[in-house]
Amino acid sequence: MALTFRPATAADVPAVVALVESAYRGDSSRVGWTTEADLLQGQRTDAEAVTGIVADPGSVLLLAQRDGELVACCQLERREGYAYFGMFSVRPESQAGGIGKAVLAEAERVARDEWGVGEMHMTVISLREDLIGWYVRRGYARTGKMSPFPYGDERFGLPQRDDLEFELLVKSLEG
């Protein structure tokens, strides 16, 4: 069955937190290829952070469902002249089946057609070469612009390495 998309509501917060945690942390994340379990322990997000995104008029938390079940999500945040893409999660056992491509395409469509922005930005842990390669194959360009990982802020996890940083990736949504 095809994917359906809708914005998250406050009632979706617990399911979104569970999805994001399963995709990035702990043994459950190792089923998929997007795990960060070897780089970070602890939480990836929490109910307070997800509630804040859902309530923010400048953001949308886009849910992807198949047969009424949550299988993926992403956050879009409207910024000056571009949209920021984040909190991208696909249920680990459903990864590598095209869901991620479909969610990314829908996020780009929303940013371009509904928000009227010309670029999508995201940051990815620079050590995640496999993930960066996946985005590059979908038209994102590596900028070489790095930003520091928020060491000491447990809301972002417990780093297992001391060389984590984020690289900015950008894609034009025009033409």
What tens digit of pLDDT does each residue of 107-133 get? 999 999 999 999 999 999 999 898 999
What tens digit of pLDDT does each residue of 27-58 get? 665 655 566 656 666 667 788 899 999 999 99
What's this model's pTM, rounded to 2 decimal places? 0.89
One DSSP character per residue, the chain reads: ---EEEE--GGGHHHHHHHHHHHHSHHHHTTSS---TTTEES-S--HHHHHHHHH-TTEEEEEEEETTEEEEEEEEEEETTEEEEEEEEE-GGGTTSSHHHHHHHHHHHIIIIIS--SEEEEEEETT-HHHHHHHHTTT-EEEEEEEE--TT-GGG-EES-S--EEEEEEEE---
Question: Can you give the pLDDT at residue 33?
Answer: 59
Q: Which amino acid is at 162?
A: D
Higher pLDDT, 23 or 24: 23
Question: Which CATH number fits the domain that encloses residue 155?
Answer: 3.40.630.30
Report the domain count for the chain.
1
Whether the predicted pLDDT of 147 surpasses 60: yes
Whether the predicted pLDDT of 156 surpasses 80: no
Q: Which domain holds residue 141?
A: 4-172
